[in-house]
Structure 1
Amino acid sequence: MIGMIAACLTTLSFVPQAIQVIKTKDTSGISLIMYSMFVIGVFLWFIHGIYIGDYAVIVANCITFILASIILCYKVKYK
Protein backbone atom coordinates (compact mmCIF):
# COMPACT_ATOMS: atom_id res chain seq x y z
CA MET A 1 0.00 0.00 0.00
CA ILE A 2 2.83 2.41 0.81
CA GLY A 3 4.41 1.63 -2.55
CA MET A 4 1.17 2.43 -4.37
CA ILE A 5 0.80 5.75 -2.56
CA ALA A 6 4.44 6.65 -3.27
CA ALA A 7 4.00 5.62 -6.91
CA CYS A 8 0.88 7.78 -7.28
CA LEU A 9 2.47 10.85 -5.73
CA THR A 10 5.73 10.69 -7.66
CA THR A 11 3.97 9.89 -10.92
CA LEU A 12 1.32 12.58 -10.58
CA SER A 13 3.99 15.16 -9.77
CA PHE A 14 4.79 15.23 -13.51
CA VAL A 15 1.25 16.17 -14.55
CA PRO A 16 1.51 19.92 -13.76
CA GLN A 17 4.86 20.18 -15.60
CA ALA A 18 3.54 18.32 -18.62
CA ILE A 19 0.42 20.53 -18.75
CA GLN A 20 2.50 23.70 -18.47
CA VAL A 21 4.90 22.59 -21.21
CA ILE A 22 2.04 21.58 -23.52
CA LYS A 23 0.23 24.91 -22.97
CA THR A 24 3.22 27.25 -23.20
CA LYS A 25 5.69 25.20 -25.26
CA ASP A 26 8.32 26.81 -23.01
CA THR A 27 11.02 24.34 -22.09
CA SER A 28 13.82 26.84 -21.52
CA GLY A 29 14.11 25.92 -17.85
CA ILE A 30 14.36 22.19 -18.54
CA SER A 31 17.67 20.40 -18.99
CA LEU A 32 17.76 18.21 -22.10
CA ILE A 33 20.46 15.97 -20.64
CA MET A 34 18.63 15.53 -17.34
CA TYR A 35 15.29 14.69 -18.96
CA SER A 36 16.96 12.32 -21.44
CA MET A 37 18.68 10.47 -18.61
CA PHE A 38 15.47 10.49 -16.56
CA VAL A 39 13.33 9.05 -19.37
CA ILE A 40 15.85 6.26 -19.99
CA GLY A 41 16.04 5.53 -16.26
CA VAL A 42 12.26 5.40 -15.87
CA PHE A 43 12.01 3.09 -18.87
CA LEU A 44 14.57 0.77 -17.28
CA TRP A 45 12.60 0.83 -13.99
CA PHE A 46 9.50 -0.10 -16.00
CA ILE A 47 11.36 -3.08 -17.55
CA HIS A 48 12.63 -4.05 -14.09
CA GLY A 49 9.06 -3.91 -12.76
CA ILE A 50 7.94 -6.29 -15.49
CA TYR A 51 10.87 -8.59 -14.72
CA ILE A 52 10.05 -8.78 -10.99
CA GLY A 53 6.28 -8.65 -11.50
CA ASP A 54 5.73 -5.58 -9.29
CA TYR A 55 2.48 -3.90 -10.31
CA ALA A 56 3.26 -0.61 -8.52
CA VAL A 57 6.65 -0.29 -10.24
CA ILE A 58 5.18 -1.20 -13.64
CA VAL A 59 2.22 1.20 -13.57
CA ALA A 60 4.03 4.13 -11.96
CA ASN A 61 6.98 3.97 -14.30
CA CYS A 62 4.85 3.43 -17.38
CA ILE A 63 2.81 6.57 -16.65
CA THR A 64 5.90 8.55 -15.60
CA PHE A 65 7.66 7.43 -18.78
CA ILE A 66 4.78 8.73 -20.91
CA LEU A 67 4.57 12.09 -19.11
CA ALA A 68 8.34 12.63 -19.04
CA SER A 69 8.60 11.59 -22.69
CA ILE A 70 6.01 14.21 -23.65
CA ILE A 71 8.07 16.86 -21.87
CA LEU A 72 11.27 15.58 -23.50
CA CYS A 73 9.66 15.64 -26.97
CA TYR A 74 8.56 19.23 -26.45
CA LYS A 75 12.07 20.08 -25.27
CA VAL A 76 13.58 18.67 -28.46
CA LYS A 77 10.90 20.13 -30.74
CA TYR A 78 10.79 23.65 -29.26
CA LYS A 79 14.46 23.96 -28.34
Structure 2
Amino acid sequence: MAGSSHGHTPAAWTGVTIAFIGFCVAGAFMVMAQPVGFWAGMAIVVLGGVVGAVMRAMGLGMPKQATALTYQAAPAATREPAGAQS
Protein backbone atom coordinates (compact mmCIF):
# COMPACT_ATOMS: atom_id res chain seq x y z
CA MET A 1 0.00 0.00 0.00
CA ALA A 2 2.82 2.42 0.67
CA GLY A 3 3.79 2.54 -3.00
CA SER A 4 0.31 3.64 -4.06
CA SER A 5 0.10 6.70 -1.77
CA HIS A 6 -3.08 5.22 -0.29
CA GLY A 7 -4.39 7.57 2.40
CA HIS A 8 -1.58 10.11 2.30
CA THR A 9 -3.88 13.14 2.09
CA PRO A 10 -5.00 15.78 4.59
CA ALA A 11 -8.59 14.53 4.24
CA ALA A 12 -7.62 10.97 5.14
CA TRP A 13 -5.39 11.96 8.07
CA THR A 14 -8.01 14.31 9.53
CA GLY A 15 -10.90 11.87 9.17
CA VAL A 16 -8.97 8.98 10.71
CA THR A 17 -7.67 11.13 13.57
CA ILE A 18 -11.17 12.31 14.49
CA ALA A 19 -12.53 8.75 14.24
CA PHE A 20 -9.68 7.48 16.46
CA ILE A 21 -10.53 10.07 19.10
CA GLY A 22 -14.17 8.99 18.89
CA PHE A 23 -13.22 5.33 19.44
CA CYS A 24 -11.12 6.33 22.45
CA VAL A 25 -14.01 8.34 23.93
CA ALA A 26 -16.49 5.50 23.29
CA GLY A 27 -14.13 2.94 24.81
CA ALA A 28 -13.57 4.99 27.94
CA PHE A 29 -17.29 5.50 28.50
CA MET A 30 -17.99 1.83 27.78
CA VAL A 31 -15.62 0.85 30.58
CA MET A 32 -17.30 3.40 32.86
CA ALA A 33 -20.72 1.90 31.95
CA GLN A 34 -22.05 5.24 30.70
CA PRO A 35 -24.18 4.57 27.58
CA VAL A 36 -24.70 8.26 26.76
CA GLY A 37 -20.95 8.88 26.64
CA PHE A 38 -20.46 5.75 24.53
CA TRP A 39 -22.98 6.95 21.94
CA ALA A 40 -21.40 10.41 22.01
CA GLY A 41 -18.10 8.73 21.12
CA MET A 42 -19.80 6.86 18.27
CA ALA A 43 -21.19 10.20 17.03
CA ILE A 44 -17.61 11.53 16.96
CA VAL A 45 -16.59 8.51 14.86
CA VAL A 46 -19.32 9.33 12.33
CA LEU A 47 -18.25 12.98 12.42
CA GLY A 48 -14.75 11.87 11.40
CA GLY A 49 -16.16 10.22 8.29
CA VAL A 50 -18.22 13.29 7.44
CA VAL A 51 -15.26 15.64 7.91
CA GLY A 52 -13.07 13.41 5.72
CA ALA A 53 -15.70 13.33 2.96
CA VAL A 54 -16.19 17.10 3.07
CA MET A 55 -12.44 17.71 2.91
CA ARG A 56 -12.16 15.31 -0.05
CA ALA A 57 -14.95 17.22 -1.80
CA MET A 58 -13.01 20.44 -1.15
CA GLY A 59 -10.04 19.00 -3.06
CA LEU A 60 -7.89 17.90 -0.11
CA GLY A 61 -8.16 14.20 -0.97
CA MET A 62 -6.57 12.10 -3.68
CA PRO A 63 -7.33 13.32 -7.22
CA LYS A 64 -9.72 11.08 -9.16
CA GLN A 65 -7.32 10.50 -12.10
CA ALA A 66 -4.59 9.36 -9.69
CA THR A 67 -6.82 6.62 -8.24
CA ALA A 68 -7.30 5.05 -11.67
CA LEU A 69 -3.53 4.89 -12.22
CA THR A 70 -2.75 3.40 -8.83
CA TYR A 71 -2.77 -0.27 -9.80
CA GLN A 72 -1.43 -0.09 -13.37
CA ALA A 73 1.78 -1.91 -14.20
CA ALA A 74 4.98 0.10 -14.41
CA PRO A 75 6.25 0.78 -17.96
CA ALA A 76 8.92 -1.54 -19.30
CA ALA A 77 12.50 -0.30 -19.21
CA THR A 78 13.64 1.29 -22.49
CA ARG A 79 17.34 1.10 -21.74
CA GLU A 80 19.49 -1.52 -23.46
CA PRO A 81 21.45 -4.05 -21.39
CA ALA A 82 24.88 -2.93 -20.18
CA GLY A 83 26.94 -5.02 -22.62
CA ALA A 84 24.87 -4.40 -25.78
CA GLN A 85 26.03 -1.97 -28.47
CA SER A 86 24.08 -0.58 -31.42
User: Bigger relative contact order, structure 1 or 2, given CA contacts below 8 A and separation 6+?
Assistant: 1
Structure with bigger gyration radius: 2
